[in-house]
Chain A
Amino acid sequence: MTLSLAKRAFSLFVYLLVLDGVAIFFFTRGFLLTRSELPAFSDCSDVSSISSCTGETVKCLSGECKENDYTEDKLAYGPIKNQGTPELAQSGASGRQGKKLNEQCSTRPVIKKAIVLIIDALRFDFVAHSRNFKGEPKPWMDNLPVLQRLIEEDNTTARLFKFLADPPTTTQQRLKGLTTGGLPTFIDIGHSFGAPAIVEDNLILQMQRTGKRVVMMGDDTWLQLFPTQFAKAYPFPSFNVKDLHTVDDGVISELFPALHRDDWDVLIGHFLGVDHVGHTFAVESPFMVEKLKQYNDVIEGVVTLLRNMSEPGGLLEDTLLIVMGDHGQTLNGDHGGGTPEEVETALFALSMNRRSGGCLSKALISSCEVEDPVIGCISSIPQLDFSATLASFLGVPFPFGSVGQVNAELFDLVVRDPESSPLDSRGDSGSSLCTLRMLERYKDVLCTNSRQVKRYFEAYSAVAISGFPKQDLERLETLYSTAHDLNVTHSCSTCQLSSISDVELIPTMTRRMIDESQVQVEAYRAYLSAAASLARSQWTQFGIEWMAVGLSLLFASIAIRAVALHRLSQNGQERWEVGLLPIKPLLVNSIGSSYPIVMLIVLQPLFRGTPFYSAMMYIQENLSIVIIGVTIAASVISYMTASPRPFSGKNLRFWIGGSEKKRRFPTAEQMDLRSLAAALFLILHALSLFSNSYIVAEGVVINFFMASSGMIYLRSAIKAHSKISQAICYLGVIWILPRIHSLALFKGLKAIEGPGFFGSGLDFADSGSILLLQLILTITTVAFPLIALTWVIRWKLSKSYLSTGRLWKSVQSGISISYFLIAVYWILMDLTSSGLISRPDHVMRFVRLDIPRAIYLISSVVISAAAVREIHSWRIFGSKLTSAAEILLRTAAVVVSGFSGSLMILMGRKGPLILMAVALEVWCFLELQALTSCGRSTNLISSDMERREVESIIPSFRATADWSLIALQIFFSTGHSCAFDGLHFSAAFVGFDDFGFYQQGILLAVETFGSSHVLPIFGLPFLVVWRLRFTRSSGQADDKYVIVEVTKGYLWFGLIRLVLTAVTTASVCIQRRHLMVWGIFAPKFVFDSLGFLVVDVLVILVTSLFFFIPGRKQHSS
């Protein structure tokens, strides 16, 4: 099989894509392990059939003690019965309890209705009083005075908690966690776009099953999660983060009418305004205060209604109001990670049940997060516990997969002792009786709760592929049986109390029994907490072997690239070219290697009973994956060993370019300062990925390296006495580029001029000067860069290879039109958004929607025209007239410039300015490539030096490493970061109002990877050809030479990125128990690996152009 070098190079990149894809897939499979979702559901019957928890003590107190039945208990826990008191063993009459439990189903409902108001991204300091925080009260604090007033008025009916979310702190994951009581794993975050319905058992489903009518209004994520479970739903579109009011206004308009109706049992209202204000304007903006004040009024209204209608027999009798957040946010309005700001939110509960004060022992309430001078202790609740707690109040079964526990403080707040009022009069003993009864009830609830958790753990271990570790399960089992033994021993001692006639003995008895119940409650809580922490650790349990395979494949891919680079730099000998992609050995070995596995499976019955059998069963279960893995591994090995010459130790020294004898080691001229520095930066960057602080500060780190390399260029330029001004300009752009994004003027004049922001400095009456100011602002930041870029494309780019052809002319005009449209778009948007001119809605709609769409259209037409043209001219003329450099440059120029229009409109107002800076930076960089390693300027280059430059792989590395740094700098300076909150969701709605998975996904992907991946990769041929102009004295390069250099460039680019990705992967693997693994390392891994696959795919796109290069010339050489 003989292939030309170009086709071999293309196939090599395809092979590398497959390899990288498989490697990343394998690693991901091990790292982002998902929790197995069990399809089982809790049921009234399965709770009652095993129950010895509920009912009896309550009945004891009401004098039914003697009728209690422990038969089932004896059946289930035979040996234990002897420990019970004789009275217990003798008690009879079975039928009643079962019937009663069936009616009330797991726990007795203590509230009739619940109103749950969720405020998305509610920071804890929005609710808690500002005196609890250090420093000056910030503007966003104390804007919900109604909650603070209620808490201060009566801490026994209203209470505030710090509500702790588990990362990932995105709305969908949190809603899932809140309703299932489980821990949504990281992989769910991938569904954030197309929220899939929850298949697990959950609170909403249980409510529906037990006949509770749930009404939902607000964020439409709910409806995606629970498509059929609501009795009524008023969803409002949630995804457009610029839309601050639609959801909230919708909720408010539906909420109050619903409160007057009696067609619901649970009402959920989900406000999104705060989240959207945070995303769009950050926490400090005046809009936030406005929003919070609006919520304050809403809550005020709800509370007033509740007060009025909660009298016995009223519409809202026994209603619980909960106001809570699903997660917090940082001051920039971001969330998703695990920092305290994002994790801490607030839960406010107001119980309308005023029969008595909370008399649950204070000893149970342990965690004191904040010590408030007025209301005392503010404790914290994990969000994990929410589902179990609310289920116990409403009397619905705990969701099957919940691992939370019923919270003691909320229980104390909501559950009232029905007999307390007559007993209260007895003073001290009355209150301790109350305490006793509450403790007993709480203990019963916890008992049911523990059973449910225990059952879930058993079911999960039975079903899931990777169950819990044995010793942990045993430890849990011990804890559970301790708690249960205590319960059986003591549960009916309360019965004795009611039978005691001696009044004097009651207080001491009560006290003793309080202590006993407390011990039991603590035992149950110990079990539940242990279970929750085991679940936490389990669902970050990793498949180490998968990770190891994936990681080693990644490192194999690094090695393949290095070997390929070495074979490529052998300066055009035929056998080395074959070695670039030795097709025959690859195919034979990889197909051959899977053969033994298939044979093993076929012959499997023969091995039954031998130790291999279990291993073979494992292979059979994962057959496809094992075969893929083995095939890939075999192909890697065959690639490495398929040497064009007999294998010897010398082969291993592939790092050294050139022929064998001359240059074993790079000479001093090759290893110049710039190459060394580039290598040093790469190594430092890679090492920095092991630390979470450096990952967070990666943008700064990249900038630091760019500045360092800029200084080195400046030094070389001064040394060579040429290109000094370009070097200084390069440094200037490096200075300005990261700062463009954070310039305040891009947030729009409206945000700056918001009420109270400028004070009275800017008078709105003076609209003439504002108009002028706005116009100047828009023109300097949008129109001027656009004109500059148009100038570059029309006149500068045309001067090089690509001037000829009608296509380029029409491309030019297309691009000019799209740039003009961008300018019009921003001028109109700015003027209307600052309220200076007003246009009818349909005109603005046209501007908002149709201009961006027209720009997208122009871009796609231009790019596809370029593709069609290449194919067409290749078919008709066989490309006789074109050279490789011409084809590559022409296509790259058309794609880059055509693409820039769409990218710019997606990047927002700062887009044109950033792209202009990028263009300037790239131009300076290309100019600086004229400085060769010897520090001499272009003209002085000798033929010997030329040969050295060409043969070695070092200069190619130097240029590409700097190019990759530029690409990274663009990524970070366009405001991206390797975190999910760094995604620019607002970009997905440029030109669209409604949410569609594919169109918005594509726009988001283009915005994220467009500037930092598409532009640099399509631009790389420019760099290569430009460098050749300086290094080849003959000027025009022959085709083969261009192909070799471009392939080298892409191999280096891929290698550099792959090193970074592999190091990220390794660091994720090493740091998998790190506190920040889900907050920082995992998103970084996802971004890096995705970005790397994007690089691979784009490289394949570019190298597919190799097919259009006529093969004639290569064979001659």
Chain B
Amino acid sequence: MEGKGGEMSGRAKGRRRKITPLSKTFEERPQDQIHSQGEEDVDQFPFPFRFWILACVQLICGAAVYLGLWIVPYLMGGLSIIFQPVETLRICFVVAFPVILFSFSMLRLQPEICPVWWAAFRGFLSLPIGMIVASFIATIFGAPVSYESAVRTLHWGALVSTLTVVPVAAVAGGSWPMWHQLFAATKPNGPLELALCLPAHGAAIGSWVGAWPMPLDWERPWQEWPVCCTYGAVGGYLLTVFVSLGWNAVNLRQSSKGEEEKAK
């Protein structure tokens, strides 16, 4: 499952080039600058603020996903993922997608050459690609392919790619080294990359684990595709959001000590 992001990145890159040749101009520069990016970031935001902004963004995204999946559908006439999966997934997507897209657009790399609208735009562009690739991968794993379930699969794919691909696309755009580093090598470097990488993997692995109860003959409505995979994806996402927050907080103390020593 972990290769998923990697493949998406490959596709995303290839297609984006075809769709919007404009982006080339933005893409070629970051590739050279990717290593020096950390220092620029420091310049952009003073050190302790970076962490708090990131933490706020992550918490907001987590809250949006949670609200979107459970609270808002409930308020909107008692919908539930178990009985109205398509409608609920759509609501969850509508609630979570703009929040995630715009909040991560705020954290984009190279803000000096990349305006917010462009970050949001490339995040938006990554959605259909991610959705289709995620749905296809779901069918490889055994999701049914009839018309009715294809609708469900696409809705699920939209939600999952909102959780995995969209933030990365908004932050890093078509930067291949970044995608490679996050999803193929799985070596996040710094708090921002961790906050991108870990929840994405959490969502993917969560939905992988979420598929396990499906073959059981308990005949519960939540065993239907894609209910438990959605639970898995959102559960994994929320869990890893908190894990990455905690991890960053622990590292914050250490690195702030380092900063202080440096300052001395």
Contacts and interface: CB of A to CB of B under 8 A. Distances in A.
Interface of A: 673, 691-694, 696-697, 700-701, 703-704, 707-708, 710-719, 724, 727-728, 731, 734-735, 739
A713 B3 CA distance: 8
B66 interface: no
B4 interface: yes
B217 interface: yes
Contacts of A727: 3
Nearest to B217: A693
Interface string B16-40: 0000000000000000000000000
B139 interface: yes
B1 A711 contact: yes
B2 interface: yes
30 contacts: A673-B2, A691-B216, A692-B217, A693-B217, A696-B215, A697-B215, A701-B215, A703-B141, A704-B142, A707-B141, A708-B1, A708-B208, A711-B1, A711-B2, A711-B4, A711-B137, A713-B3, A714-B6, A715-B2, A715-B3, A715-B4, A717-B3, A718-B6, A718-B7, A718-B10, A719-B184, A724-B10, A727-B3, A735-B136, A735-B139
A715 B216 contact: no
A1100 B9 CA distance: 47
Given A703-B141, A739-B145, 6 more contacts: A694-B215, A704-B211, A711-B3, A711-B7, A717-B3, A718-B6
Contacts of B216: 691, 693-694
A531 B139 CA distance: 52
A703 B140 CA distance: 8
Name A's interface SS: helix
A297 B180 CA distance: 71
Contacts of B7: 711, 714, 718, 728
Contacts of A713: 3
Interface in B78-102: none
B141 A704 contact: yes
A431 to B, nearest CB: 47
B156 interface: no
B183 interface: yes
B56 interface: no
A294 to B, nearest CB: 34
Contacts of B10: 718, 724
A717 B140 CA distance: 18
Contacts of B2: 673, 711-712, 715
A734 B217 CA distance: 25
Nearest to B11: A728
B177 to A, nearest CB: 11
B63 interface: no
Contacts of B42: none
B37 to A, nearest CB: 21
Contacts of B211: 704
A713 B1 CA distance: 10
Contact of B215 (A673, A693, A711, A716): A693
B185 interface: yes
Interface string B161-182: 0000000000000000000100
Nearest to B141: A707
A-B pairs with lowest CB-CB distance, top 9: A715-B3, A697-B215, A714-B3, A718-B6, A718-B184, A719-B184, A693-B217, A711-B3, A707-B141
B4 to A, nearest CB: 6
Contacts of B9: 718
A715 B141 contact: no
Given A700-B142, A707-B140, A731-B140, A718 B215 contact: no
A715 B10 CA distance: 11
Nearest to A716: B3
A673 B3 CA distance: 11
* B interface residue count range (under 10 / 10 to 19 / 20 to 34 / 35 or more): 20 to 34
Nearest to B1: A711
A719 B180 CA distance: 7
Contacts of A708: 1, 141, 208
A715 B183 contact: yes
A703 B211 CA distance: 13
Contacts of B4: 711, 715
Contact of B140 (A700, A701, A716, A735): A735
A734 B136 CA distance: 12
A711 B141 CA distance: 10
B28 to A, nearest CB: 19
A75 to B, nearest CB: 57
Given A714-B3, A734-B140, A700 B180 contact: no
A718 B1 CA distance: 13
Interface in B133-169: 136-137, 139-142, 145
Q: Quick one: which of A696, A704, A716, A727 has the most chain B CB within 10 A?
A: A704
Contacts of A704: 141-142, 211
A728 B133 CA distance: 12
Nearest to A727: B3
A116 B57 CA distance: 77
B152 to A, nearest CB: 17
Contacts of B141: 703-704, 707-708
Nearest to A711: B3
A707 B134 CA distance: 13
Interface in B103-154: 136-137, 139-142, 145
B3 A707 contact: no
Given A707-B140, A712-B3, A700 B215 contact: yes
A694 B7 CA distance: 30
A701 B216 CA distance: 11
Contacts of A714: 3, 6-7
Nearest to A702: B142
A703 B139 CA distance: 10
Nearest to A728: B7
Contacts of A735: 136, 139-140
Nearest to A724: B10
Contacts of B6: 714-715, 718-719
Contact of B142 (A673, A703, A719, A728): A703
Contacts of B136: 735
B91 to A, nearest CB: 29
A717 B184 CA distance: 9
A711 B211 CA distance: 16
Nearest to A1076: B217
Contacts of B185: 719
A703 B143 CA distance: 11
Interface string B211-232: 1000111000000000000000
A473 to B, nearest CB: 36
Interface string B186-205: 00000000000000000000
B251 to A, nearest CB: 22
Contact of B184 (A691, A700, A715, A734): A715
Contacts of B208: 708
Contacts of B139: 735
B140 A710 contact: yes
Contacts of B180: 718-719
Q: Quick one: which of A712, A727, A728, A735 has the most chain B CB within 10 A?
A: A735
Contacts of B137: 707, 711
Contacts of A728: 7
A704 B1 CA distance: 11
A407 B139 CA distance: 52
Contacts of B145: 739
Contacts of A703: 141-142
B186 to A, nearest CB: 8
A693 B9 CA distance: 37
A719 B186 CA distance: 9
A710 B184 CA distance: 14
Q: Quick one: which of B10, B142, B145 has the most chain A CB within 10 A?
A: B142
A1068 B33 CA distance: 61
A676 to B, nearest CB: 12
A940 B90 CA distance: 48
B117 to A, nearest CB: 30
A159 B206 CA distance: 56
